Structure formats: C-alpha cells, structure tokens
C-alpha cells in the first residue's frame, strides 16, 4: 500500500485515482477548485466529467496543495498540459528528494517546445519523474474496461514502481525507457485526431480516416526519430495505439472538436462545446515549430495549423493535401527495375 496524491480532478485524474484506490493504495485527490472538491466529497463522484463512476469512501479530497503533496510516495500529475508548469512551480516547495511524479497529461509547451516531463524536471529537480500514456479514455478506465498503457522513466526501477501501483486485472501496464518517444506520440496524436474529426465533420468516409491515421503515424514517427526517439515506441501503444483510439473513439475530445470544426464551427465554439481541454489545439503550434526546427515534413499537422489559426476552410486544406506532388509511399524502398 502506497500513499499517493492525484494532482488534478479532471476525468483522467479521477479515473486513475479510482484505479489506484481499487488496488489498495491510500489516495488523495487535489483540485484548485474548492467547489469541485466539495462536489467530490458530497457525491463520491465527479458528476460533470465522469458521471456514474462512484469513488471509494476511503478516498480523500483537498484543495490544499501542501496537504496533497507533502509526504506522499507518488504524485500523479493530471492537470491539463497548459497548467503543468504553473502547477509544478506551486508543488515544488513541498516535494521531497526522491518523490516520484508521474506525468499523465499529454502536450508540448508552445513557448519552449519542452515535453511535460522536461518541464517537471526543470521546476522540481528533487523529484523522480515518470510518464504514463497509451490508448486509454477515462470513461472506459473509470468503469473498469480492460485497458493497456505504458509507464516510462529514465530509470527502470522508477518505471517498474509506477507499473506496480497501477497494474491490476483490467489495467495492464508495460514499461519503457523511451520517455521522449512516448511523450511525442501522446502529444502529436491529438493534432492528427483533430484532422480525423474534421474529416468526420465533412462527412468523409472510412477511406479518408484510414489514410489520415496511416499518414499521421508516418509524420509522427519522422519527427520523433529526428528528435532521438525510438521507432518501436511509435509503432506501439503510445504511438499507433494511442493514435487509433483518439482518431476513432466517441470519447475523444480532440476528434469531437475537429468534427465540430469540420461542420462549420469556429475553433472557440468547438472548444466551448466540448467543454474540456482540447489538448491538440494547444499542441498544434508546438508540433509545427518542432517540424521546422528539425526540418521534418509534416503536411497534415501543417494543414491543421492553417485551419486552426489562419482561418483556412477545412475543405480547402484537404484539397491541398490531396493535390501535393506525386511521390513514393516509402522513399527507402528500392525498385528492382
């Protein structure tokens, strides 16, 4: 049994808190919103973001960050990526040497192009930092549907400790040393999922979706490999696996936002309708900035940026993608004649 705090009471934080509590750990959930904490205490359920998922009576809730952080063995950092740095700064005075912080959000900081684990390591050098991601919607994890994810860390022992606290008969956890590849896969797939949603919003079919997913993983892998990540990671759960579920699932907020944009909503209207943080919108600019920094061609992600931030009509963006210069699918394959 471990003492664990989940920092962030969104749908993903609450779903993971339930997994950890079900495994017999002592779990405290923190939110900056006092009214959210009151609602969780009163209902033992997040009635807005994860309705129907009842939380164990022994789970604790607090809006006091020091109470949540101090003395815990593990801190599960589940705030949206745009709040990772500010939350880490606030946590830093209370974190002791060797506490494990597990980043479970997905994103790249637009201003610095840093991954979330890099941000936490910069703000809280005393901590052991890990990440966890994979194809895992909170709505399914919360009700105990079988799910498989990956825990990553620079040290094997840290990744295996994270594996141990989460793993059970319906929540399987693998380990990986390729933290960079995991975080890039988890962030970039949200941008591709926006494109997949736009295609759905336009009424395009399965052919279009399959092409977006396939060419999307190709773009993700090109950038990740250029940055030093491993191909195996992009072909695994935190790459193609996470991309498939985010592009296809009815639970995907990125797909839903993209679908609304494809139907003619503005970006802001789509985000308001989804009513949760749409990580792909925040990662899109960082993704294209990384592509330019590493001189990697990412036409789908570039098209998404034009739709989101330059007012490009979705149909025009699709037409431009389809009319790009002819080329071979894999330039590394050689002809015999």
Contact 286, 110 (CB under 8 A): yes
Q: Dump the DSSP string for 170-217.
A: TEEEEEES-HHHHHHHHHHHHHHHHHHHHHHHHT--HHHHHHHHHHHH
Q: Dump the DSSP string for 3-20.
A: EEEEE--SHHHHHHHHHH
Task: State the pLDDT at residue 196.
Answer: 93
pLDDT digits (tens, 9 = 90+) for 121-176: 999 999 999 999 999 999 999 999 999 999 999 999 999 999 999 999 999 999 99
332 within some domain: no
pLDDT digits (tens, 9 = 90+) for 304-313: 999 999 999 9
Contact 229, 115 (CB under 8 A): no
Pair 115, 135 in one domain: yes
Q: What does the block give as tokens for 29?
A: 């959930």
130 within some domain: yes
Range of the domain at 299: 182-322
Query: Model-level pTM?
Result: 0.93
Give per-residue burial for 137-169: e unless 16+ CB within 10 Å, then b.
bbbbbbebeebebbbbbeeeebbebbbebbbee
Q: Is the pLDDT of residue 277 over 80?
A: no
Arithmetic mean of pLDDT, 250-278: 90
Task: State the pLDDT at residue 322.
Answer: 85
249 within some domain: yes
Give the separation between CA 266 and CA 254, rounded to whole angstroms: 14
Candidates 72, 189, 230, 256; catalytic one: 189
Pair 199, 168 in one domain: no
Q: Is the pLDDT of residue 43 over 80?
A: yes
Q: What percent of the chain has pLDDT over 70?
A: 100
Q: Is the pLDDT of residue 327 over 80?
A: yes
Q: What percent of the chain has pLDDT over 90?
A: 86
pLDDT digits (tens, 9 = 90+) for 166-219: 999 999 999 999 999 999 999 999 999 999 999 999 999 999 989 999 999 999
DSSP 141: H
Contact partners, residue 334, CB within 8 Å, separation at least 6: none
CA 252 to the chain's CA centroid: 11
Domain boundary among 158, 177, 196: 177
> Does the annotation mark 312 as catalytic?
no
Domain boundary among 149, 177, 205: 177
**What 3-state class would DSSP assign to 95?**
coil
Pair 211, 124 in one domain: no
* Burial status of residue 81 (CB atoms within 10 A of its CB: 0-12, 13-18, 19 or more): buried
Pair 155, 295 in one domain: no
Pair 24, 141 in one domain: yes
Q: Please name which of 329, 176, 197 lies closest in space to residue 255, comparing C-alpha atoms.
A: 197
Q: Is the pLDDT of residue 245 over 90?
A: yes
Q: What is the CATH number of the domain that holds 311?
A: 1.10.1040.10
């Amino acid at each position: 049994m471990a003492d664990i705090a989940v920092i962030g009471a969104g749908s993903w934080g609450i779903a993971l808190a339930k997994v950890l509590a079900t495994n017999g750990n002592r779990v405290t959930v923190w939110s900056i919103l006092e009214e959210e904490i009151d609602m969780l205490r009163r209902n033992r359920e997040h009635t807005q973001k994860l309705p129907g998922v009842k939380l164990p009576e022994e789970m604790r809730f607090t809006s006091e960050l020091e109470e949540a952080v101090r003395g815990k063995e593990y801190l599960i950092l589940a705030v949206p990526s745009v709040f990772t740095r500010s939350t880490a700064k606030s946590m830093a005075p209370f974190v002791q040497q060797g506490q494990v912080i597990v980043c479970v959000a997905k994103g790249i900081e637009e201003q610095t192009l840093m991954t979330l684990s890099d941000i936490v390591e910069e703000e809280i050098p005393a901590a052991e930092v890990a990440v966890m991601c994979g194809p895992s919607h909170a709505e399914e994890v919360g009700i105990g549907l079988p799910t498989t994810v990956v825990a990553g860390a620079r040290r094997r022992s840290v990744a295996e400790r994270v594996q141990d606290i989460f793993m059970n008969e319906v929540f399987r956890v693998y380990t990986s040393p390729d933290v960079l590849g995991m975080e890039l896969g988890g962030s970039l797939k949200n941008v591709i999922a926006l494109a997949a949603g736009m295609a759905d919003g336009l009424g395009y079919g399965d052919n279009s979706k399959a092409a977006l997913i396939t060419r999307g993983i190709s773009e993700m892998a090109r950038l990740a490999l250029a940055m030093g990540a491993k191909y195996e990671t992009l072909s695994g759960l935190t790459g193609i696996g996470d991309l498939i579920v985010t592009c296809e699932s009815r639970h995907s907020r990125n797909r839903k936002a993209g679908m609304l944009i494809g139907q003619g909503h503005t970006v802001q209207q789509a985000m308001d309708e989804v009513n949760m943080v749409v990580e792909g919108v925040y990662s899109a600019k960082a993704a294209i900035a990384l592509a330019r920094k590493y001189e990697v061609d990412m036409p789908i992600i570039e098209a998404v940026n034009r739709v989101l931030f330059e007012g490009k009509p979705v149909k025009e963006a699709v037409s431009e993608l389809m009319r790009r210069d002819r080329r071979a699918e894999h330039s590394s394959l050689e002809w015999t004649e």
